[in-house]
Amino acid sequence: MSFNLKSSIFKPLFLFLIIAQTLVNLEAKEPTIAILKSISSNDTQRFQINSNSFICEPYGVVSLEKIYAKSKKDSSCRKSIDEFYVKNRKLLYFSQSFLKLFQGYHIELKNLECVVYAKGQTTLSELLLSEGLAVNKNGFKDREFSSVYEKVSRTAKRDKKGVWNSSVLKDCASLIVNN
């Protein structure tokens, strides 16, 4: 009897081997590397893997840009964010200060958001939180990231960085809670 893949005996074995190999590869958790194609804001970047381009938003946090976009046109929230960026011009382009176009970044996709490892093991979300340019998403629970995000937020609050040193949180409280 010769080996024939079309043989009904070997089909289940072959399928089992393919599935097993796929599971081993998934378990190895090889990093996904994506190329940064553009930076729209601290909140939004466009990445590419092979020929597939996609938008990334930071995982587990609500950025000032997201709050601004959800606020009403003439609201005190929007005015506070505008004033914040007038006083802190360089923070408007914060992510552009360390993310470099056409460079590869390790990313993980979670719940339609991206964990972008922007500086070694430090994520973009952590960097935004550390500068007070984002707050933890209401009800965010993730074993891997929640405690780190909370610690970084407490430090930014203690140091009065970003939104922790402005009226943004007070003026935008309802939008922050509902995200």
Beta pairing partners, 77:
none
First-to-last C-alpha distance (Å) of the chain: 64
Query: What confidence tens digit (pLDDT) does each residue in 2-44 have?
Result: 444 444 454 454 445 445 444 444 445 678 999 999 999 999 9
Asked whether 85 and 92 are in contact (CB, 8 A), the reply is yes
For residues 6 and 23, give the distance between their C-alpha atoms in angstroms, rounded to a whole number: 24
Whole-prediction pTM value?
Answer: 0.81
- pLDDT tens digits for range 35-59: 999 999 999 999 999 999 999 999 9
pLDDT reported for residue 96: 94
Lowest-pLDDT range, 9-18, 108-117, 123-132, 151-160?
Answer: 9-18
Q: Is the pLDDT of residue 130 over 70?
A: yes
Query: Amino acid identity of 76?
Result: S
Facing residues of 61 across strands? 136
Tell how strand 134-136 and strand 61-63 pair up. Answer: antiparallel
Average of pLDDT values for 146-157? 96
Q: What is the pLDDT of residues 71-107, one digit of tens each?
A: 999 999 999 999 999 999 999 999 999 999 999 999 9
What is the model's pLDDT at position 158?
A: 96
Sign of CA dihedral 125, 126, 132, 137: positive
Is the predicted pLDDT of residue 1 greater than 70, yes or no?
no
pLDDT at 3: 42
Please give the radius of gyration of the chain, using alpha carbons only, rounded to the nearest integer.
21
pLDDT at 5: 42
Let me know: does 132 contact 63? Beta carbons within 8 Å.
no
Q: Is the pLDDT of residue 68 over 70?
A: yes
Q: Are 164 and 157 in contact (CB under 8 A)?
A: yes
